[in-house]
Copies of this chain bind each other. A is one copy, B any other.
Amino acid sequence: MQTEDSRKRVEVCFSPYLFPLYKDEFDIIVVIDVLRATSAICAAFHNGVKELIPVSTIDEAKEYQKKGYLVGAERQGKIVEGFDFGNSPYSYMKEQVKDQTVVLSTTNGTRSINIAKEAGQVVIGSLSNLDVLKYWLEKQNKNVLCLCSGWQNKFNLEDTICAGAIMDYLLSTGQYTSIEDSSIAAKYLFLSAKDNILGYLKASSHRRRLLNLNLSEDIKFCLTPNNAPVIPILEGDKLVALNETVLK
């Protein structure tokens, strides 16, 4: 798909629930779940995890556990009983996971990955890998959809702000355009938030929900741009990190 003026498109879809309205038109789908799945995935690869297998259901996660894999499973912000990890980025920064294959199932993020993969090349986006990702996307020069994982199928601010940051950069190159109001809103929200993302999210329900779980260290990690500069990309059913030479 090309727009009239031959620029590529970059757009933002606010939640997996809305994905059917967008999915047919894009080459690359950037899956975003800032709090916390995609931030944790970036942290994992930055810490040397070899492969990461995203699965949608707890049953699938259990199957992998039986086979001896390290398995993370999170629901409603907590580690599911019997699993090794939840979706805290710090879980995936331990020596134990280095060079390993890890399996992960989360409430919103891994579900997004699995619905996106039918529609285009899936890459993982978060604030943690923002700059390397946006430069890589620019070089691809393909139609890009930022798919926010949201919260229980609804819009959330942190994913939208991250998507807005990608939008803002790609539009600034002159090589991309966008036609959806959701994309324009994401860019506006990023521009309002960028100087103080944590402060901006103080009003966010999701953040309040996470604070109840005493996750403020996680939140600080997830809202710090560029602390895990890797590009996790889906190959078959596994996420791997792009070879660093590709990033140059």
Q: Which residues from chain A sit less than 8 Å from chain B, CB to CB? A: 14-15, 17-18, 21, 151-157, 160, 179-182, 184-185, 188-189, 192, 203-206
The 9 A-B residue pairs with the shortest CB-CB distance, nearest first, are: A155-B182, A156-B181, A179-B205, A157-B181, A184-B203, A155-B181, A181-B204, A181-B205, A21-B153
Nearest-neighbour CB distance to chain B for A172, whole angstroms, equals 14
Count identical subunits in the complex.
Answer: 2
Nearest-neighbour CB distance to chain B for A211, whole angstroms, equals 14
Partner of A18 from the list B18, B156, B206 (CB cut-off 8 Å) is B18
Nearest-neighbour CB distance to chain B for A131, whole angstroms, equals 24
Q: What are some 24 contacts across the A-B interface (CB < 8 A)?
A: A15-B18, A17-B17, A17-B18, A17-B21, A18-B18, A21-B152, A21-B153, A151-B181, A154-B180, A156-B181, A157-B184, A157-B185, A160-B185, A179-B205, A181-B205, A181-B206, A184-B204, A184-B205, A185-B185, A185-B189, A188-B189, A188-B192, A189-B189, A192-B192
CA of A155 to CA of B179 in the docked complex: distance in angstroms? Answer: 12
- Chain B hits for A189, CB < 8 A: 185, 188-189
- Chain B hits for A21, CB < 8 A: 17, 152-154
CA of A184 to CA of B202 in the docked complex: distance in angstroms? Answer: 10
CB-CB nearest in chain B for A209? B179
CA of A154 to CA of B21 in the docked complex: distance in angstroms? Answer: 8
Nearest-neighbour CB distance to chain B for A49, whole angstroms, equals 30
Residue in A15, A153, A160, A181 whose Cβ sees the most chain B Cβ within 10 Å: A181
CA of A17 to CA of B13 in the docked complex: distance in angstroms? Answer: 13
CA of A179 to CA of B204 in the docked complex: distance in angstroms? Answer: 8
B185 A205 Cβ-Cβ under 8 A: no
Partner of A155 from the list B151, B154, B185 (CB cut-off 8 Å) is B185
CA of A189 to CA of B157 in the docked complex: distance in angstroms? Answer: 12
- Chain B hits for A17, CB < 8 A: 17-18, 21
- Chain B hits for A206, CB < 8 A: 181
CA of A185 to CA of B206 in the docked complex: distance in angstroms? Answer: 13
A155 B14 Cβ-Cβ under 8 A: yes
- Chain B hits for A204, CB < 8 A: 181, 184
CA of A17 to CA of B21 in the docked complex: distance in angstroms? Answer: 10
